Structure 1
Amino acid sequence: MSSTQPRDAPAREMYVDPRFRSAADRFFERFQRRGDGGGAVAAYLHGEKVLDVWAGWRAKDTRWTHDTVTLCFSTGKGVASTVVHRLADRGLVDYDQPVATYWPEFAAAGKERITVRELMSHRAGLHNVREVAPTQKVLLDYRAFADALAAARPDPRRFQGPGYHAVTYGNLVAELAARVTGKDFTTLLKEEVSDPLGAEELWFHVPQESRVRIARVFPTVKPGPMPWSTTGRILSGLPGLRAIAEAGMAEGFDELARSPRAHDAVMPGWNGVFSAPALARMYAAIANDGVLDGNRYLSSERIAQLSETQTRRRDYVLGIRPHWRLGFHPAWLRVERMPRRSVGHYGFGGSGAWADPETGLSLAFVSNRLGNRLQPIADGRMSAIGGAALEAARAAG
């Protein structure tokens, strides 16, 4: 990057630290054909950039370039959570206080004792987006969505274990942060994350002038031969799959994933539009004990808290034990020894980002190709690329 280029401007030239060539090779291997779509990966080690590459196609006839951004779905949960952690670091939020302390209306329907800690580890019992936002109109209306969440009755399964708030999580933490500060969440994201870290391309409501840079996601989000809405109604009536449909199959989600209307709204649970370098910079501060470019972003104590597992119980939505942190999960990588203190968040389709405080490594991978040829949910790209980068960081000492 030239000395005259703004800190938050996308680098126009790719960069590969020789120690991370294997991770770059694994990335480029996955974008050989137009059908692979496009993507980017960026990484920092001890706060220094070691990887910034891109490849493939952002649209049918348009190459992915240095300034391409894309919809990253649940990757945004980690970004939204970081806003709350910044507020907690200044004493404005206490994880063990009831959410209703900051958001009084949230106390309705028996939620008066649900804490911020429980909310941020998916233990609030508010996973059911199909009930809270039964139409696209509610889903796209931030105020209506927040009011519906405040009025909702929590699922009693929350006492048995976490239940992944696939769509609702982002709006819950966004409203919490807004109530604490009196500012809208778009302003908070800019003030608490983008500006202090020089990471502009972290958007939920995408600026109009930047929308030409958004990659076209594909294929169409479709869980089977039937329409999305029909499949959602059927699955929500099946005991073994009901919770997954309730949490993740919001009405009209398939259409919104490819619609410009998604970029007009603030839905931090799923509609984040990011670049890989911006995500990697945010997580670089977490990986580097809260410091980036010589400036303290989060306290050492806060970084230690982020790595703590909040619950080891089985998630009643996902059916696994995600070992939720405060707004994050561990990095899941193709390595023999997993990074146990890592924090991050992956998204539908395969994008994601994470930090590993043990090695000082952060990495972000974004792509407009959802999953693989068999299903759109996810694939092994992040796992393989991230695994190669982690091994390189460990070897670098």
Structure 2
Amino acid sequence: MTTSVRSHRPAAAPRTELHVDPRFLPLADRFFAMYRQPQQGGGALTAYFRGEKVLDIWAGWADRDRRWDRDTVALSFSTGKGVASTVVHRLAERGLLDYDARVADYWPEFGAAGKDAITVRDLLTHRAGLHRVRGLMRSPLDLLDYDAVVQALASTPADPRRLRGPGYHAVTYGWLVAELVARVTAKPFVRVVEEEIAGPLGIDDFWYLVPEQHRPRIAKLFPHINPAGLNWELTSTVLARVGPTRGLAEAAMPTGFDVLVRNPAVHGAVMPGWNGVFSARALARMYGAIANGGVLDGRRFLRRSTIEQMSTVQTRDRDYVLGIRPQWSLGYHRPILASREQPRNAIGHYGVGGSGAYADLDSGLSLGFVTNRLGSSFTALGDLRLARLGVEAQALVRNDK
């Protein structure tokens, strides 16, 4: 049984209905409390539990003069890495690629500059040594040229630190995975996303290249992405020269990136490491299938054996970019909750600014959350909104025995 809560649009338009299972009302209340004022922006939250959609809600503002509605989608940054990784696992399940095969077996040019031994498993766990995006291209707009970027990555030597541990490929990961997929299938990456993710799940909102007719649905991001409001160029240059932060600046702070993320042209390019545009509904549906043993609505999306492989931690070493031990699995990280107790068997991916999604394989819960308010009032890089929503959700499913 569910409770339907209508938005401000006429009752005759059923697509405006919010969906709230009574068991998840406390989670809905916590979400709505986050978007009471225009300066808080807007967002959407969707949850699946044991294969059933139990929450599909939204609130706030998509722009200064536009309320967030059912069809609003958002640029979700690194959240898209989890979707791109899932494409790889769908292909691996059918034997189209092997995790322990060399990337160069599928993409011969990748083997240049001594990279011939790097495997698909290395790539999926950020151990390819190609984390550097800063300085990869001559100008910020060059990052919009997919072919030029993948050619540059293929010809770049790997960072030798990859042999000691992972180095988060904050921006480059998406291009590397996309080109691997394109070489394996002989199809453009965005078409493969449609065929392997959007089509099987019955929902279109998985975009790295957003169709023109859907771009008006994209929420406007704010404030600027600059760390602590500081000048991007000055800050990134300083961080790139300081030992402990050099890797992060190299991986995530290319020149002009703060301007590029606000350029509408990013929605017409393929940059899967950060420019994915999604609805919370789409993200939660994909992870809902994963959380439910690979099955949703009676259709198998992934085998249990595949999910076991993709969720197994591959490295516990310190990440030389992040400076922590993220425990990377094959294309995902463990979800982060604002609690001492963390899910023991869960995978997902969060994005800079706050959006993210995950699947808890033990409880059968999935959450998808997107927002246009980048971070908190202190920093645009991220905050605890999804981490707190996750705590509430986990408590509710623990009590539903």
TM bracket (short chain): over 0.9
Give the aligned residue type for 2:82.
G
Q: Give the alignment partner of residue 80 of structure 2, picking from 71, 76, 82.
A: 76
Matched, 1:346 2:320: no
Q: Give the alignment partner of residue 174 of structure 1, picking from 150, 175, 178.
A: 178
Q: Is the 8 A contact 1:106 1:150 kept in 2?
A: yes
Alignment-derived partner of residue 211 in structure 2: 207
Residue aligned with 2:243, SS: coil
Q: Is the 8 A contact 2:229 2:379 kept in 1?
A: no
Alignment-derived partner of residue 276 in structure 2: 272
TM-score by length of 1: 0.96
Unaligned runs of 5+ in 2: 5-13
Q: Give the alignment partner of residue 265 of structure 2, picking from 251, 261, 264.
A: 261
Matches within 5 A, 1:1-397: 11-224=15-228, 226-397=230-401
Rounded Cα–Cα distance in structure 2 between residues aligned with 1:31 and 1:298: 35
CA offsets, 1:175-205, max 9 Å, x none?
A: 0000000000110010000011012111010
Give the Å deviation of 1:228: 1.6
Rounded Cα–Cα distance in structure 2 between residues aligned with 1:320 and 1:11: 43
Residue aligned with 2:17, SS: coil
Rounded Cα–Cα distance in structure 1 between residues aligned with 2:348 and 2:260: 25
TM-score by length of 2: 0.95
Rounded Cα–Cα distance in structure 1 between residues aligned with 2:363 and 2:341: 13
Give the Å deviation of 1:216: 0.4
Rounded Cα–Cα distance in structure 2 between residues aligned with 1:135 and 1:11: 43
Q: Is the 8 A contact 2:141 2:260 kept in 1?
A: no
Give the Å deviation of 1:335: 3.6
Q: Is the 8 A contact 1:199 1:279 kept in 2?
A: no
Residue aligned with 1:240, SS: helix
Give the Å deviation of 1:11: 4.4
Q: Is the 8 A contact 1:24 1:385 kept in 2?
A: no
Give the Å deviation of 1:132: 2.1
Rounded Cα–Cα distance in structure 2 between residues aligned with 1:255 and 1:289: 41
CA offsets, 1:315-363, max 9 Å, x none?
A: 1111111000111001111244311110000000010000011011110
Q: Is the 8 A contact 1:202 1:278 kept in 2?
A: yes
**Percent same amino acid at aligned positions?**
57
Give the stretch that moved more between structures: 158-167 or 251-260: 251-260
Rounded Cα–Cα distance in structure 2 between residues aligned with 1:393 and 1:101: 44
Rounded Cα–Cα distance in structure 1 between residues aligned with 2:380 and 2:206: 23
CA offsets, 1:36-80, max 9 Å, x none?
A: 000000000111100001000000111101100011000000011
Rounded Cα–Cα distance in structure 2 between residues aligned with 1:224 and 1:380: 16
Unaligned runs of 5+ in 1: 3-9
CA offsets, 1:283-304, max 9 Å, x none?
A: 1111011111101111110011
Give the aligned residue type for 2:55.
L
Give the Å deviation of 1:226: 4.8
Give the aligned residue type for 2:54.
V
Give the Å deviation of 1:393: 1.5
Q: Is the 8 A contact 1:47 1:284 kept in 2?
A: yes
Equivalenced residue count is 390
